[in-house]
A and B are shown apart, each in its own frame.
Chain A
């Protein structure tokens, strides 16, 4: 073999080795996404968008219109819409599709869920570079539409999409929870509805409402059915109660603090009100809106995104006309332990972009995701329910301000309860909070609601709810949701343990190889010098 051939062979061997090493990086998933210099408009792209609607036809139409408008701006991008009515279903489907590399391109989701998606390598695109890209980033120069600048995305909402120091989503819509009150019944019971509800007030009125006539009907409504206080999402109930009490839930790095004395006290309190018939939950009894509108509930707590179902004149209703009862509906923030320092959860859908091997396809996906933040989409969608737009650009627009100002003008688009629910969040953004996001936080959220559901169920079934019960409940729920069993692998400061044996062998072999290569090169060099 000639000297040249030897060198060529060596270079080839080194090249092969280098390639094998770089090949490892990312082969456990997709390669890291890098923003292309230019969007290649000479190619056609077909992207899938998994969206969630609240079983609301108008929302579906807005998605379809957004897609049609976007496709008109970018004729080379086709967006296929797949509709869901349940975040949990989207989550499960995404998890399944990660393993087969068949995730959607763009997906409506919750940050809690993204934290789990991120356990697949390079599965979700970090958006930091895309945000900042001069041409295609937020408010970029090459966008075919008038999107918001980075500073026009409400910071609190944007920060909710930051996980482990990177943005993995953009907020799409935001809501909080509201207490929808039958003000007529509250006043008939002899109470004055305060501007800020306290837990004490709600429990007191609810207990007073349980008074029955001799024939078993309730004094306040004359009906056989009354559940004075119904909570739709008991996970939110527990999370917000704990936050208001400044009690533990979880740490930022995923340590579970849910099972504490404050939680126990809260559960005992709830059990007492279940026993007297003052309280129940959606899962146990049914939709709060149905009971409220039938005059069978006084305090119904549900998302502001459920406002169009609340009240005698609600545009949406699941109960028959003859079951509707006339009453005045008031909208209040959720009850507080410290009304001077109210705290309420911020929730609502966000949008993430899934990584693909083709960076141009990812860029096309990002262009569509960002399009969802334009005023047209933001304002139209927010008006379907008690949502608020996530950009100041949309919130401050003349169109949106006019919408708010016409509160109560009709029982459709300007339905008073809906707009008041939106204003509740707009006026209290600084009082909102979110829970820490980590791989496992979705399970912790479910577990917190399960504690309440189990206590309510057991109390109704006349089981004994005492310390032994609580101990078993905590143990069962912890086990059911696999809390603290390594689901926080991606984040936090968890020790990774000893390196696997195969990795040790591989790295040792590579080290030996490099030593041999260097020895060989060194020897050849010395030989040449002697010559």
Chain B
């Protein structure tokens, strides 16, 4: 009996000690947000959906602004660092990170880039292309890009609109191009030029990062020319990651290819389109 008791007690000790050893790394402190890793880097599917939809005739929507909401014209006239309230329709989602969403939005008159708006992951999932949102925030400019600054809030409203693509090829190199900033635009009949050189000194059609310092998964940079002028275009890896058609299409470009492209007219110290589709002619 006593031996049994001893054996039982020891067995219990063993079980308890093992149980206590469980949950091996559960108490790793994370002063940063674990959620950061969900960084919904790319919304390839939604971006592509927006691209496809935009090639169709735009849905005719009466774009009446709600009470207290600015028209696009009023938004553009507003001072930098002033509060703005706009209504627009999501065209593409660039990223979600630590409860902040970056969005390309547009109405029938112009586009609004919304940087790091306060957004839960749940709400982010609701922002499919076409979704109407009312955004309250501050207008700002960062390296030439006019945007609604970090910290804006939004609410989802009834309504849907996919902006048609606007061909701005002829505006490249002109002062008028900036009037289309952040809009969904097309460039047609451009020629792929060398973006740089590889380790062996051979010309290449694209680079990972602006100088080739990156690797697969990073932003792609490529040069295209028209009428003797060369422009640098980008596949922004958060907007279109390395699983998307456009990312792989750019990786397959050859110098001398003639291409049609679509994307968002982003600005960084000059025009820096974020391309979402490329078609080799």
The reply on A320 being an interface residue by CB < 8 A is yes
Q: Which one of B16-24, B61-69, B183-191 is at the interface?
A: B16-24
Main SS class of interface, A:
helix
Contacts of B16 in A (CB 8 A): 502, 505-506, 509
Contacts of A505 in B (CB 8 A): 16
The reply on A248 being an interface residue by CB < 8 A is no
In the complex, A55→B142 CA distance in Å? Answer: 20
In the complex, A408→B140 CA distance in Å? Answer: 39
| A17 with B31: CB separation less than 8 A | no
In the complex, A482→B29 CA distance in Å? Answer: 12
- Cβ < 8 Å to B, chain A residues 103-138: 116, 119-121, 123
In the complex formed, the residue of A with least CB distance to B15 is A20
Contacts of B143 in A (CB 8 A): 286-287, 290, 318
Q: Which of B18, B29, B209, B268 contacts A489 (CB 8 A)?
A: B29
- Cβ < 8 Å to A, chain B residues 1-57: 2, 5-7, 9-10, 12-14, 16-21, 23-34, 36-37
| A57 with B212: CB separation less than 8 A | yes
In the complex formed, the residue of A with least CB distance to B138 is A461
| B210 with A96: CB separation less than 8 A | no
| A55 with B83: CB separation less than 8 A | no
| A95 with B209: CB separation less than 8 A | no
The reply on A60 being an interface residue by CB < 8 A is yes
The reply on A513 being an interface residue by CB < 8 A is yes
| A286 with B13: CB separation less than 8 A | no
Min Cβ gap B191→A in Å is: 21
- Cβ < 8 Å to B, chain A residues 259-305: 284-287, 290
Report which residue of A23, A120, A287 has the largest number of chain B beta carbons within 10 angstroms of its beta carbon: A120
The reply on B211 being an interface residue by CB < 8 A is yes
| B213 with A17: CB separation less than 8 A | no
In the complex, A462→B83 CA distance in Å? Answer: 10
Size class of B's contact patch?
35 or more
Contacts of B32 in A (CB 8 A): 88, 91-92, 95, 116, 442-443
Contacts of B19 in A (CB 8 A): 502
Q: Which of B9, B81, B268 contacts A512 (CB 8 A)?
A: B9
The reply on A460 being an interface residue by CB < 8 A is yes
| B30 with A116: CB separation less than 8 A | yes
| B213 with A55: CB separation less than 8 A | yes
Contacts of A323 in B (CB 8 A): 269
Size class of A's contact patch?
35 or more
| A120 with B17: CB separation less than 8 A | no
Task: Take A29-B24, A506-B16 as given contacts and tell me if A60 and B37 are in contact as well, using a CB distance cutoff of 8 Å.
Answer: no
Contacts of B36 in A (CB 8 A): 92
In the complex, A319→B269 CA distance in Å? Answer: 6
Q: Which of B6, B10, B33, B140 contacts A16 (CB 8 A)?
A: B10
- Cβ < 8 Å to B, chain A residues 159-207: none
| A482 with B31: CB separation less than 8 A | yes
Contacts of A61 in B (CB 8 A): 199
Contacts of A142 in B (CB 8 A): none
Per-residue contact bits, chain A 503-522, to B (CB 8 Å; 1 contact, 0 not): 10110011011001100100
| A95 with B28: CB separation less than 8 A | yes
| B21 with A119: CB separation less than 8 A | no
Per-residue contact bits, chain B 63-83, to A (CB 8 Å; 1 contact, 0 not): 000000000000000000111
Contacts of A60 in B (CB 8 A): 212-214
In the complex, A512→B31 CA distance in Å? Answer: 40
The reply on B215 being an interface residue by CB < 8 A is yes
In the complex formed, the residue of A with least CB distance to B272 is A318
In the complex, A61→B18 CA distance in Å? Answer: 48
Q: Which of A24, A55, A439 contacts B29 (CB 8 A)?
A: A439
Contacts of B215 in A (CB 8 A): 83
The reply on B159 being an interface residue by CB < 8 A is no
| B209 with A460: CB separation less than 8 A | no
B residues in contact (CB < 8 Å) with A: 2, 5-7, 9-10, 12-14, 16-21, 23-34, 36-37, 81-83, 138, 140-143, 149, 199, 209-215, 218, 268-270
Q: List 16 A-B contacts (CB under 8 A).
A: A13-B6, A17-B13, A27-B24, A28-B23, A28-B25, A29-B25, A101-B25, A120-B25, A442-B31, A442-B32, A457-B138, A461-B81, A487-B29, A502-B20, A506-B13, A516-B6
